[in-house]
Amino acid sequence: MITSTLSQQLRKAHHVVAFTGAGTSAESGIPTFRDALTGLWERFDPAQLATPEAFRADPSLCWGWYEWRRQKVVQAQPNGAHLAIAELASHVPKMTVVTQNVDDLHERAGSQDVIHLHGSLHSPRCIDCGLAYTLPLASYDLPAEGSRIEPPRCSACDGYVRPGVVWFGEMLPEDAWSAGLAAAEECDVFLSIGTSGIVYPAAELPLRALGNGATVVHINPARFDISSQEHFLEGPASVMMQSLLRDAFG
């Protein structure tokens, strides 16, 4: 199924980047950002929930939505794609995982030093002074979709604690962005897995990799246009990553 050229390139690669998006976690049952707005959340626009202004206007509505998403992640398990990505690291000299996802499924599958371009559901901080909130977050039965939950307060300044994700209109964390960019420019194989590639600046990474001569492979069940130098593996991330691994390393 996988071309032998691709397997060969993976075998001789020095540095492989796995760049992942919502599609990589889809098979773990994590709804994508837009899919997450179902049920009682259906009447909300993402822009009403995922901005600093939205949080300040209605902290418990916003926090309730993110806590609902975080609970979904806590209850989910890494899927075959996360596991194959983690295993790939043991076959190549250097591997970097750069994700747009705010879950921790790569880490739980065994990937190390994962670069989170869009932050994480698991690293809340104070919206006013930025202090990391280190107390364990409440663990409860999945709150009913639509539940408001009062956010905790910062121990230093009493500000509200906000989710550690990147919201619309916010900058990407500088360290993550520069590390992701450096990996894209240095790698020789760049696997773009389960991402629509339309959200910038993250979507610039495959272009940077291509511009620097890397083999760029898109893995997605939904076909989209690519340039003649890129490759497309059409199918679910778990299936395609497992067969890429098998074809390249047996």
Binding site for ligand APR (CB under 6 A): 21-23, 26-27, 32-33, 100, 118, 194-196, 199, 220-222, 236-237
Q: Give the span between the Cα atoms of 191 and 17, in whole angstroms.
A: 6
CB of 236 to ligand APR, least distance (A): 4
Q: Which C-beta is closer to ligand APR: that of 52 or that of 152? A: 52
CB of 23 to ligand APR, least distance (A): 2
Instruction: Map tokens 């949080």 to a residue.
Output: 55
Evaluate whether 235 touches 24 at the Cβ level (below 8 Å): no
Is 118 considered catalytic here? yes
Q: Which C-beta is closer to ligand APR: that of 33 or that of 44? A: 33
Longest dimension (CA), the chain: 58
Q: Which C-beta is closer to ligand APR: that of 71 or that of 99? A: 99
Exposed/middle/buried for residue 19 (C-beta within 10 Å: 0-12, 13-18, 19+) = buried
CB of 171 to ligand APR, least distance (A): 13
Could you give the count of Cα atoms lying within 13 Å of 190 in the half-sphere of its Cβ?
28
Q: Which C-beta is closer to ligand APR: that of 154 or that of 219? A: 219
- How far is the CA of 160 from the CAs of 122, 129, 132, in angstroms? 16, 10, 11
Which residue among the candidates 118, 122, 218, 231 is catalytic per the annotation? 118
CB of 141 to ligand APR, least distance (A): 26
The conformation of residue 34, written as its DSSP 8-state character, comes to T
* Catalytic residue positions, numbered: 118
